[in-house]
């Protein structure tokens, strides 16, 4: 892919303007300001897709090392630039993406979806729920939400729609396909918010929260999953109904769908050896990520979540479910490790050099002049954070650019740290529903042609309001019960 001149020039222009034209504000370290120039230029290049995100990450790390904005020593500067490659959170996501390849290779992901449809597919609404809960089942070990919603569930959704002759090519999307496509997509933000390992940017949230609270709050895999369980389930139960009302399918009864699913299951045959192994590894990962062995046998049986992912991948390699070639060919995993490392590195040093604190204080001062309490202040910060996603084509870019400062500002205004962390974490996923470019899954499903742009945006906005209200409403009760605030 050749470099795109216009987005590149815009990104370079932003960097030069911040570095040389805009004066360094009082109280800000010049090195922090110069790193901000590199950081914002990188985000602008990512949004403009000047180059693939991995290539932009390499360029950003090179510029950080060359300019010495984090360290005067050349050897220290390159160590800083490469420092985040040792982050367990980064490797957790990369390893999980490699593991999720097994769901596709063995056919287990498709089998799970067809099984749900064979049980609940007699009505169009039932197919919608089948797609939603199929994605939920595989979400814990598929940190690429694009692979999950676009690569596994979407082809199944299209097969079902085609079996009813509901296709854009035939002009019959309204029969069933449009509804299923909307459910297919709007499931993605919800399941992404339910597990740390359900989408790549979630570990960024974990890191930013830990840094802002001096590691007093560490969102473990178990803590996140437990906290988001009831709010996520509530949204999954309501979402297909809301879309059924907003964009009703012409075909309501679908008895042939269960037959279609059973035929596909018959073609898949009995569960094969590799699928059984994949199921066993899946169960093992969930047991250790949920800290069940530690509860039963004591802290000596506890493993770090990234260590668990290493164990899972090792078992798949030993048993031959995945080959080393499969791992090498999993480009999205290696790509994620590279660009995640660059973004986390820059965000971490912006915090260490004091710029995040300065920016948070500026936001806090602005809201404080309004004379509102922390509840209103937290609501303002959450809504601005969520709906500013209209200007982003990447959840990772958005969270990297804004989460740390907005979260720190909320803490300064008196928001309970754990409560506000969970609310902001939810908003960081639910914002995916807004546009047809909000995350990687969006263009995959939108480009299939089932949903018009206007319908996509209008339903996306409605779902963002309903999901946020439901998530926080149920969450406040659930999190209080759990003692999180």
- In angstroms, the CA 410 to CA 350 distance is 18
- In angstroms, the CA 374 to CA 407 distance is 12
- The closest of 355, 331, 344 to 399, measured between CA atoms, is 344
The burial of 58, by beta-carbon neighbours within 10 Å (0-12 exposed, 13-18 middle, 19 or more buried), is given as: middle
Instruction: Check residue 469 and give its pLDDT.
Output: 97
- pLDDT at residue 1 greater than cutoff 70: no
Mean pLDDT of the chain: 89
pLDDT digits 0-9 by tens, 13-71: 999 999 999 999 998 999 999 999 998 999 889 878 899 888 999 999 999 999 999 99
Range with lowest mean pLDDT among 94-108, 218-232, 400-414, 467-481: 94-108
Instruction: Check residue 361 and give its pLDDT.
Output: 79
pLDDT digits 0-9 by tens, 196-245: 989 988 988 999 999 999 888 989 999 999 999 999 999 999 999 999 99
Pick 9 or 305 by higher pLDDT: 9
Per DSSP, what are the bridge partners of residue 123?
253
- pLDDT at residue 426 greater than cutoff 70: yes
pLDDT digits 0-9 by tens, 171-195: 999 999 999 999 999 999 999 999 9
- In angstroms, the CA 334 to CA 200 distance is 12
DSSP state of 123: B
- pLDDT at residue 144 greater than cutoff 70: yes
DSSP state of 251: -
What residue has token string 């509901």? 166
Instruction: Check residue 226 and give its pLDDT.
Output: 95
- In angstroms, the CA 391 to CA 404 distance is 18
170, two tokens: 């035939």
Sign of CA dihedral 306, 310, 315, 320: positive
Task: Sketch the domain layout of the chain as residue ranges.
Answer: 1-81+335-352, 89-201+219-329
∠ at Cα 423 (287, 83), nearest 5°?
A: 65
- pLDDT at residue 258 greater than cutoff 80: yes
What residue has token string 């999205």? 332
Helix or strand run (H / E) with residue 325: helix 324-329
pLDDT digits 0-9 by tens, 106-138: 988 788 878 888 888 888 999 999 999 889 988
- In angstroms, the CA 38 to CA 16 distance is 9
């Amino acid at each position: 892919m050749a470099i795109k001149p216009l987005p590149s020039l815009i990104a370079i222009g932003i960097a030069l303007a911040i570095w040389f034209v805009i004066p360094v504000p009082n109280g800000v370290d010049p090195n922090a300001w110069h790193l901000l120039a590199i950081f914002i230029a990188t985000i602008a290049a990512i949004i403009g897709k000047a180059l693939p995100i991995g290539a932009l990450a390499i360029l950003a790390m090179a510029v950080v090392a060359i300019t010495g904005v984090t360290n005067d020593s050349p050897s220290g500067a390159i160590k800083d630039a490469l420092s985040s490659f040792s982050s367990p959170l980064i490797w957790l996501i990369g390893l999980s993406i490699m593991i999720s390849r097994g769901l596709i290779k063995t056919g287990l992901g498709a089998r799970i979806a067809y099984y749900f449809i064979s049980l609940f597919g007699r009505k169009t609404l039932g197919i919608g729920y089948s797609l939603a809960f199929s994605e939920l089942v595989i979400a814990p070990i598929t940190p690429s939400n694009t692979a999950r919603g676009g690569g596994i569930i979407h082809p199944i959704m299209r097969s079902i729609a085609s079996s009813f002759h509901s296709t854009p090519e035939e002009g019959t999307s309204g029969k069933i396909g449009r509804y299923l496509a909307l459910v297919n997509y709007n499931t993605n933000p919800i399941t992404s918010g339910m597990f740390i390992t359900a989408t790549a940017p979630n570990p960024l949230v974990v890191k930013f929260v830990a840094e802002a609270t001096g590691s007093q709050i560490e969102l473990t895999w178990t803590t996140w999953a437990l906290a988001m369980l009831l709010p996520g389930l509530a949204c999954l139960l309501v979402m297909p109904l809301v879309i059924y009302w907003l964009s009703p399918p012409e075909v309501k009864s679908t008895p042939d769908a269960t037959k279609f699913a059973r035929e596909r299951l018959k073609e898949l045959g009995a569960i094969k050896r590799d699928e059984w192994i994949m199921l066993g590894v899946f169960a093992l990962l969930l047991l250790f990520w949920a800290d069940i062995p530690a509860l039963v046998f004591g802290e000596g049986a506890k493993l770090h979540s990234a260590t668990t992912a290493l164990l899972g991948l090792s078992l798949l390699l030993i048993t031959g479910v995945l080959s080393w070639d499969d791992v090498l060919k999993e480009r999205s995993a290696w790509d994620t490790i590279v660009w995640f490392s660059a973004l986390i590195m820059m965000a971490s040093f912006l915090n260490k050099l004091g710029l995040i604190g300065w920016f948070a204080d500026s936001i806090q001062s602005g809201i404080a002049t309004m004379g509102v309490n922390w509840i209103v202040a937290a609501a303002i910060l959450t809504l601005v954070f969520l709906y500013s996603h209209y200007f982003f084509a990447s959840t990772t870019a958005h969270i990297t650019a804004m989460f740390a400062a907005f979260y720190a500002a909320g803490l300064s205004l008196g928001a309970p740290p754990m409560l506000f962390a969970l609310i902001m974490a939810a908003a960081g996923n639910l914002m995916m529903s807004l546009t047809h470019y909000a995350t990687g899954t969006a263009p995959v499903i939108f480009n299939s042609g089932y949903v018009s742009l206007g319908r996509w945006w209008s339903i996306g906005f409605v779902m963002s309001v309903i999901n946020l209200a439901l998530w926080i409403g149920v969450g406040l009760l659930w999190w209080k019960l759990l003692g999180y605030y």
